[in-house]
Structure 1
């Protein structure tokens, strides 16, 4: 008994006299990928006060020691096309993002869920409630348009356009990274190139972006890219093309090389244009896109009335069968027909049995035209947005785009409220759970499309440089400690079309701003994410 007491006292004395940890975290013996595309080096990484403070052989100790032997240590992945702006107000965990190794998201295809003047309050709410990932956003040109003109068609007067510009200026001064557009959807589709150039010039005063879901990603892909480049050149802004794709079955193998050549030519003459993509052959969006844009020309409510009108539907069906038309990208035509459009979520019990079925199958079962089936489902699901998967892309074109050095990665997906559920958009697409692991698992491991170093660069150092995040995206002294540790052998994207919320494997540790947020594959509950505000030094 005396020996036990003496041994216990001695142990306490040794602990008391042990030197205090010099670091918050030390990651030991991992293969460090710096995020700039360099080959890995074996090193320790020390973290203190949210930053990387030392790389190499580290004799000191951390409050938390992580053994990374046999695993890779990478900067946290950056999602360049995120949809989490609204759901983070409800749940800041973003666990499906973290499970993919994502530590930073850039959102705002449709803008933040706040008016331009209310962006500071929105950011403050996120900070007060806490978020597990870093978050930045664009402001939508459509937000400005709708505030001034409503949701109908028409051209703005000079006074209205000036008022829209004031909204953009306020948003930029409040931290938006630029303006965005989604020109495939009404009422965004009603914006003219010249309108967007005018608003881009305002964003240019803050060295902002013009980020766009282009007017046409199908047969008119090259012309849509040329429009985006024109807006960038005339507006004096950087151009980010969202989810670059050649979404037109008859043009597979042809359109994407032309698109790449167009972008390369613009870059060669000094236009700062780049793109992001997700690595899947199907896009996911609402069923309302199957209706021609003129249906929505007088606003949403009038459009719903038109969808209910059998006579109007007859005209619509003829136009769907005819293909795309000016101002409307026909995704049914782009997919090669209704057989390649699958209902993902109809938001109604009535049509739940058809989830995963093609519109051709649904129409045959119900003995109605597939277009009628699409519009019936869309109406039944209101006020939610019924969504479908449109199989429009080829793997060959994805590979061609991925190989371009200026292409980064964006999921086009939101965080889920709860892990294992579909994302907050209600869209069961594997991109919400698999995008970033898939880049490595599919295009590094299974197919020799990218080197591991370049795949990581596309998800870390390049997007950080692109967005002006000078303190993130690299593992170097003084950088913010957004870090992912992964086992390359085990790394895989589990999400499939049949099981879109299956979890990836091989990523077990994620650090956000120096705080371990995923540990042993489990969320620690940490909310160390930061709101990223684009700096605007307003010019007079």
Structure 2
């Protein structure tokens, strides 16, 4: 049926026609795209432990738009027919807080499939009053991966009391709680502790419960490098459980391990049973781990904690005193003491402590040699060598590798269903160089890839589906990142695409900065950051803030 058109309307239509004519027809060589990117025909692992399915993934505006058979076209398309496609991997124990301000690319993390990093074992690199600005600066400068952080319970103490031992007064405790609340409102994901290191080791269980109660009010998490991971591991787990029970906070144990040669085969299974019993009665506790038999930390950990009770300046003077050194050597030989975990004993003696980074040219030639061997070479007690290195590296930390764990214990811990994966390593400021903390350990370049290459492919400790779950949906659930961690329509499109046959962690204790192979594509919030094994330079990462955040995201 024809309809009449008002003369004025006819004029408008005519004018519209002129506009259309001026705009010109759509060119045949400029097809319309339905999606930003389509991943075709991959073996899709949803991240929740289900077997893979053959499917396409369509991504639009940073999210999964369609999963299954995708008929529409992508501006960029990837043929994943020979690859597995999984959610991006989450590093639950990262050390990149400072380096991301200098270089946000985090290439060594992304090349091992990591798209999200959770940092803050030692807290934030700024005081509580500056946490909001710190996180905003990261977002403004741009980062290539998603990043969240804890605030340090020890930071709150140091801001109020300095670095000395002692019980806080009621007034000091009130002030410390205020710092925790301030950090939580600024976006911290919870509070973290590093109870093996002075002055953090001076915090009592009661003090930590009080601070945890504050973080819990903001939906925060209590994460801990526990007081002891060696002979007193079970006591340390018990303390973490107590803090969770009495404060009502969720608890995360950092880098779970049985770092004590005399306890191999016993401590890890017993520790697992403790955690499972606590979970059975309603304590929300779990853990993460890295997958290497050696830990890495500063050589100052070989000094009994009482030396640091009056602060670092006094500790330096004590460590220079020959009489005090003689006392310390006897204490090292005697084993762990209350308030101090003896990592020399845990490593089976100085032969198990290997120099990683002396931060002093005089000792460079001794890298990758044990302190026992270096002592023989120099004609000195290895304890004197270690403590000389500590003093001569200041204001840096001299680092060592401590070979304290057994492979069977690593396998046992990996099988715990509540275990996730964390590297205890930072992004490198420059690719192929050491990570942010200056410790040459292969976990900085290979940890996530090694989970699959070593413990799925070679040893068959985990199924591929469960290994991916431990690096995706499970840690996302733990950190309450409900918009990512799984492949499902509407979620953020963090993606790791890898060739199962080629995946290899490469990095070793001899070649700690070797980049993994087989991880060919990585997407963060829908954008390619690793394209055929190369970093694209893109910075689509998001700063992740905790539930207590008050402000504009």
TM range (shorter): over 0.9
Map 1:469-508 → 2, pairs under 5 A: 469-508=481-520
Deviation of the 1:16 alpha carbon: 2.9
Alignment-derived partner of residue 6 in structure 1: none
User: Aligned pair count?
Assistant: 527
Alignment-derived partner of residue 452 in structure 1: 464
Question: Which is higher, the Rg of structure 1 or of structure 2?
Answer: 2
Alignment-derived partner of residue 384 in structure 1: 396
| Partner residue of 1:145 out of 151, 157, 162 | 157
Q: Deviations over 1:195-223 (max 9, x none)?
A: 00000010110121110000000000001
User: What is the TM-score normalised by the length of structure 1?
Assistant: 0.96
Deviation of the 1:166 alpha carbon: 0.6
Deviation of the 1:305 alpha carbon: 1.1
| Partner residue of 2:417 out of 394, 397, 405 | 405
Tell me, in whole angstroms, the C-alpha distance in 2 between the residues paired with 1:463 and 1:250.
31
Q: Deviations over 1:236-266 (max 9, x none)?
A: 1000000000000000000111100000000
Alignment-derived partner of residue 34 in structure 1: 46
Structure 2 counterpart SS, 1:125: helix
Q: Deviations over 1:137-187 (max 9, x none)?
A: 000000000010000000101111111001001111111111110000000
Deviation of the 1:72 alpha carbon: 0.4
Alignment-derived partner of residue 195 in structure 1: 207
1:309 aligns with 2:316: no
Alignment-derived partner of residue 233 in structure 1: 245
Deviation of the 1:19 alpha carbon: 3.6
Could you tell me whether the CA contact under 8 Å between 2:220 and 2:547 is conserved in 1? no
Q: Deviations over 1:64-92 (max 9, x none)?
A: 11111110001000000000001100110
| Partner residue of 1:135 out of 136, 141, 147 | 147
Deviation of the 1:26 alpha carbon: 0.2
1:94 aligns with 2:106: yes
User: What is the TM-score normalised by the length of structure 2?
Assistant: 0.94
Tell me, in whole angstroms, the C-alpha distance in 2 between the residues paired with 1:537 and 1:47.
29
1:209 aligns with 2:221: yes
Tell me, in whole angstroms, the C-alpha distance in 2 between the residues paired with 1:424 and 1:118.
21
Tell me, in whole angstroms, the C-alpha distance in 2 between the residues paired with 1:51 and 1:222.
43
Structure 2 counterpart SS, 1:44: strand
Q: Provide structure 1 residue ranges, at least 5 long, that are not aligned to the other structure.
A: 1-12
Tell me, in whole angstroms, the C-alpha distance in 2 between the residues paired with 1:192 and 1:18.
67
| Partner residue of 1:425 out of 434, 437, 451 | 437
Q: Say if 1:537 and 1:87 are closer, same or farther in 2 by CA, change over 3 A.
A: closer
Aligned residues: CA RMSD:
1.2
1:344 aligns with 2:356: yes
Alignment-derived partner of residue 182 in structure 1: 194
Map 1:43-442 → 2, pairs under 5 A: 43-442=55-454
Deviation of the 1:14 alpha carbon: 9.1
Deviation of the 1:15 alpha carbon: 5.4
Q: Provide structure 2 residue ranges, at least 5 long, that are not aligned to the other structure.
A: 1-24
Structure 2 counterpart SS, 1:52: strand
1:515 aligns with 2:527: yes
Structure 2 counterpart SS, 1:397: helix
Tell me, in whole angstroms, the C-alpha distance in 2 between the residues paired with 1:18 and 1:182.
57
Tell me, in whole angstroms, the C-alpha distance in 2 between the residues paired with 1:120 and 1:81.
21
Alignment-derived partner of residue 7 in structure 1: none
Tell me, in whole angstroms, the C-alpha distance in 1 between the residues paired with 2:206 and 2:291.
32
Tell me, in whole angstroms, the C-alpha distance in 1 between the residues paired with 2:199 and 2:416.
32
Could you tell me whether the CA contact under 8 Å between 2:148 and 2:543 is conserved in 1? yes
Tell me, in whole angstroms, the C-alpha distance in 1 between the residues paired with 2:410 and 2:222.
23
Structure 2 counterpart SS, 1:274: strand
